[in-house]
């Protein structure tokens, strides 16, 4: 256990976590920028899949007029999320558009042309969370289409409904924001701490827990102070824990270990320890949805990097093209080496500036060559740095060797599926080996392979079931025929016996 002190703030009692790295944070580029509003974009593109789970089902068609906040995509199944019109306007297409993803492949998308009036439709009815049942709160969060806004995009209501399944006691609000450059959660806490605290209290009521801990990294003293000033959410006391600035402190399981000392087993949920983790921006969205009936139609995004003329934090409508966010921040200040959605450690590279921001987009980064400084990969020198940096206790160089040998099952045996894709190993590797990129690719291939295997097994099972059914049918036919034959033979025998029993010359009428 360590006592961590931050000048001017009460020290937090913490537990050591494994691994981690200390990349340059470069938060100074945007941390001083208060959240700015943006002008309405000329076009808004809302992908139907912005969350973990099934894509939403479109409820509008080309030519429809919609109002701000109107439901335009309905969640399909228990793990999915509703989508709402970010502003009023006309639906000009329900088709495919390149995804905000490295593949850039077209995905089902609703395209909306704003009418400039930004006119609200009927909002969801307001709830008084102090009187609402936990199920009502979770249902409202689902109606509002809220997902994990730290980037995980898991539907928030599913997590709020875990209370019946696990004996929960603590809500951790993740405001660590450990990715370099990103400052959107920092600004949200500094400027809207009271609303974040209220959202946390509402979530605590839905979860049935009495303890709320807000976790902030040591490089955000103003955010920590703001939360300490607003340390009650719906009457629930809020503890603020300041953790060291160390990547990936914001990873759920590592954060739980740091603040509670409890270790979450590989591939288990923190809920099994009685703890649920939500992002600070998610709490803010819950506050708006419950108190004001506002669905999730906008979010705060950090636009930063040396490739951006004026780094800033902006509140942008979901579906705003990346190009519009960059233009709002003065445009590009040269040819960027890398364009990313999210942070530099786990963010997704994009090639097309027309792609939209989605509910999980916390950053748009344009990095100059001096910020990426990757050189050509060299052979592994077995220095072990990646092993020391891995927060999951894996041996990345061994994983990489197995993947290079096309031994995916072997890679799975040494923990490929326990890798959280944090990128610490790639960051630290002196040979510049793109380890995490290889692991992500291998995970995708393994998932495909397993899906194919599952499909083959399913086909085999169905074929076996069909031949069993056919065999049973044939057996039933054979049995019916044998029965008929036996009945006919018995009948014949009966008739013969009756004939034999008649006196000679008597005629039976
Ligand atoms: S850090 Fe790079 S060079 Fe060192 S052991 Fe790991 S993979 Fe090899
Ligand atoms: S990317 Fe995976 S293997 Fe590499 S350090 Fe992170 S968890 Fe470990």
Q: What is the pLDDT of residue 1?
A: 52
3-state per-residue secondary structure call for 15-71: CCCCCCECCCCCCHHHHCCCCEECCCCCCEEEECCCCCCCCCEECCCCCCEECECCE
Based on the fold, state whether residues 314 and 448 are members of the same structural domain.
no
Based on the fold, state whether residues 152 and 274 are members of the same structural domain.
yes
Based on the fold, state whether residues 166 and 288 are members of the same structural domain.
yes
The answer to whether position 113 is within a domain reads no
Based on the fold, state whether residues 313 and 182 are members of the same structural domain.
no
- Give kind and range of the element (H or E) at residue 340: strand 338-341
Please state, in angstroms and rounded to a whole number, the distance separating the CA atoms of residues 189 and 193.
Answer: 5
Structure tokens given for 105: 């492949």
CA dihedral 254, 304, 146, 111 (to 10 degrees): -140
Based on the fold, state whether residues 308 and 164 are members of the same structural domain.
no
Please state, in angstroms and rounded to a whole number, the distance separating the CA atoms of residues 436 and 346.
Answer: 9
Based on the fold, state whether residues 288 and 184 are members of the same structural domain.
yes
Evaluate whether 114 touches 88 at the Cβ level (below 8 Å): yes
> How many CA atoms within 13 Å lie on the side-chain side of 252?
22
For ligand 2, atom 2, which residue shows the shortest CA distance? 419
Please state, in angstroms and rounded to a whole number, the distance separating the CA atoms of residues 167 and 161.
Answer: 12
- At residue 136, the 3 state secondary structure works out as helix
Based on the fold, state whether residues 182 and 277 are members of the same structural domain.
yes
For residue 396, the ligand 2 atom closest to its alpha carbon is: 3
Q: How many domains does the chain have?
A: 3
Cα–Cα distance list, 103 to 25, 99, 438 (Å): 27, 7, 15
Domain boundary pick from 271, 294, 317: 294
- Which residues contact residue 214 at a Cβ distance below 8 angstroms, ignoring those fewer than 6 apart? 172, 173, 175, 196, 200, 227, 238, 239, 240, 241, 280
Neighbours of 127 (CB within 10 A): 18
- Which residues contact residue 100 at a Cβ distance below 8 angstroms, ignoring those fewer than 6 apart? 47, 322, 341, 348, 350, 355, 356, 357, 358, 361
The answer to whether position 467 is within a domain reads yes
Neighbours of 466 (CB within 10 A): 10
Locate tokens 């029993």: which residue?
501
Burial 27-40 (b: 16+ CB within 10 A, else e): bebbbebebeebeb
Q: What is the pLDDT of residue 5?
A: 43
Based on the fold, state whether residues 290 and 398 are members of the same structural domain.
no
For residue 385, the ligand 1 atom closest to its alpha carbon is: 1
For residue 399, the ligand 2 atom closest to its alpha carbon is: 3
- Whether 384 is in the pocket of ligand 1, judged by its Cβ within 6 Å, is yes
Distance of CA 220 to the CA centre of its chain: 25
Q: What is the pLDDT of residue 52?
A: 85
The answer to whether position 98 is within a domain reads no
Structure tokens given for 53: 């789970």
Please state, in angstroms and rounded to a whole number, the distance separating the CA atoms of residues 392 and 20.
Answer: 9
For residue 435, the ligand 2 atom closest to its alpha carbon is: 4
Instruction: Give the gyration radius of the chain's Cα atoms.
Output: 30
User: What's the CATH number where 228 sits?
Assistant: 3.40.50.11540
The answer to whether position 150 is within a domain reads yes
Closest by alpha carbon to 377, among 462, 290, 437? 437
Closest by alpha carbon to 275, among 173, 154, 155, 146? 173
Q: Which of 386, 398, 399, 423 to mutate to test the pocket of ligand 1 (most atoms within 8 A of CB)?
A: 386
User: What strands, in cross-sheet order, belong to the sheet with 44-47?
Assistant: 44-47, 106-114, 89-98, 65-66
Domain boundary pick from 294, 329, 345: 294
Based on the fold, state whether residues 199 and 272 are members of the same structural domain.
yes
- Whether 383 is in the pocket of ligand 1, judged by its Cβ within 6 Å, is yes
The answer to whether position 348 is within a domain reads yes
Ranges of residues in the chain whose predicted pLDDT is under 50: 4-9, 11, 505-509
- Whether 39 is in the pocket of ligand 1, judged by its Cβ within 6 Å, is no
Query: What tens digit of pLDDT does each residue of 233-263 get?
Result: 999 999 999 999 999 999 999 999 999 999 9
Based on the fold, state whether residues 143 and 166 are members of the same structural domain.
yes
Please state, in angstroms and rounded to a whole number, the distance separating the CA atoms of residues 104 and 322.
Answer: 13
The structure's pTM equals 0.85
* Residue ranges of the binding site for [4Fe-4S] cluster: 380, 383, 386, 390, 419, 422, 425, 429
Structure tokens given for 228: 């300490």
The answer to whether position 477 is within a domain reads yes
Cα–Cα distance list, 495 to 483, 501, 503, 509 (Å): 18, 10, 15, 15
- Whether 382 is in the pocket of ligand 1, judged by its Cβ within 6 Å, is yes
Domain boundary pick from 239, 265, 294: 294
Based on the fold, state whether residues 323 and 361 are members of the same structural domain.
yes
- Which residues contact residue 7 at a Cβ distance below 8 angstroms, ignoring those fewer than 6 apart? 221
Identify whether 248 is preceded by a cis peptide bond (ω within 30 of 0): yes
The answer to whether position 249 is within a domain reads yes
Q: What is the pLDDT of residue 509?
A: 40
The answer to whether position 485 is within a domain reads yes
For ligand 1, atom 4, which residue shows the shortest CA distance? 383
Whole domain around residue 479: which residue ranges? 380-489
Based on the fold, state whether residues 7 and 143 are members of the same structural domain.
yes
Q: Which of 376, 404, 433, 435 to mutate to test the pocket of ligand 1 (most atoms within 8 A of CB)?
A: 433
Q: Which of 378, 379, 431, 438 to mutate to test the pocket of ligand 1 (most atoms within 8 A of CB)?
A: 431
Backbone conformation region of residue 40, classed left if phi is above 0, alpha if psi is from -120 to 50, else beta: beta
Which bound ligand lies closest to the C-alpha atom of 378? Answer: 1
Evaluate whether 415 touches 442 at the Cβ level (below 8 Å): no
């Amino acid at each position: 256990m360590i006592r961590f002190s931050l000048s001017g703030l009460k020290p937090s009692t913490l537990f050591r976590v494994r691994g981690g790295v200390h990349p340059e944070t470069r938060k100074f580029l945007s941390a001083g920028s208060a959240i700015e509003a943006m002008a309405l974009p000329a076009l808004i593109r809302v992908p139907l899949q912005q969350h973990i789970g099934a894509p939403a089902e479109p409820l509008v068609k080309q030519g429809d007029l919609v109002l701000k906040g109107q439901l335009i995509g309905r969640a399909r199944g228990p793990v999915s999320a509703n989508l709402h019109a970010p502003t009023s306007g006309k639906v000009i297409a329900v088709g495919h558009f390149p995804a905000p993803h490295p593949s850039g492949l077209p995905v089902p998308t609703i395209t909306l042309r704003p009418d400039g009036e930004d006119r609200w439709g009927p909002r969801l009815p307001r709830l008084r969370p102090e009187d609402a049942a936990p199920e009502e709160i979770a249902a409202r969060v689902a109606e509002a289409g809220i997902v994990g806004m730290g980037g995980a995009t898991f539907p928030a209501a599913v997590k709020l409904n875990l209370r019946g399944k696990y004996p929960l006691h603590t809500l951790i609000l993740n405001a660590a924001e450990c990715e370099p450059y990103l400052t959107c959660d920092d600004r949200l806490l500094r400027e809207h701490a009271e609303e974040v605290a209220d959202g946390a209290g509402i979530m605590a009521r839905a979860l049935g827990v009495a303890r709320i801990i807000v976790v902030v990294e040591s490089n955000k003293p103003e955010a920590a102070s703001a939360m300490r000033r607003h340390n009650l959410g719906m009457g629930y006391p809020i503890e603020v824990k300041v953790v060291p600035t160390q990547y990936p402190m914001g990873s759920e399981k590592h954060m739980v270990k740091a603040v509670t000392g409890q270790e979450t087993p590989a591939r288990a949920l923190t809920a099994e320890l009685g703890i649920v983790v939500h992002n600070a921006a998610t709490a803010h969205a819950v506050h708006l949805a419950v108190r004001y009936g506002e669905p999730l139609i906008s979010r705060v995004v950090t636009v930063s990097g040396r490739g951006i003329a004026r780094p800033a934090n902006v509140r942008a409508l979901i579906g705003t093209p990346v190009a519009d966010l960059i233009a709002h921040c003065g445009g590009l200040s040269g040819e960027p080496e890398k364009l990313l959605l999210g942070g530099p450690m786990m963010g997704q590279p994009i090639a097309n500036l027309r792609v939209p921001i989605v509910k999980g987009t916390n950053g748009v980064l344009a990095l100059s060559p001096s910020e990426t400084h990757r050189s050509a990969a060299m052979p592994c020198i077995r220095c072990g740095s990646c092993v020391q940096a891995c927060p999951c206790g894996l041996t990345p160089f061994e994983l990489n060797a197995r993947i290079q040998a096309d031994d995916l099952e072997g890679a799975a045996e040494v923990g490929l599926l326990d890798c959280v894709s944090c990128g610490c190993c790639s960051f630290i590797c002196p040979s510049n080996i793109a380890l995490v990129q290889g692991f992500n690719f291998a995970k995708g291939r393994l998932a495909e392979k397993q899906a194919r295997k599952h499909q083959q097994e399913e086909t085999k099972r169905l074929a076996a079931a069909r031949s069993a059914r056919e065999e049973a049918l044939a057996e039933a036919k054979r049995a019916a025929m044998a029965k008929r034959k036996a009945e006919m033979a018995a009948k014949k025998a009966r008739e013969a016996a009756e004939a034999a029993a008649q006196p000679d010359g008597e005629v039976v009428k």
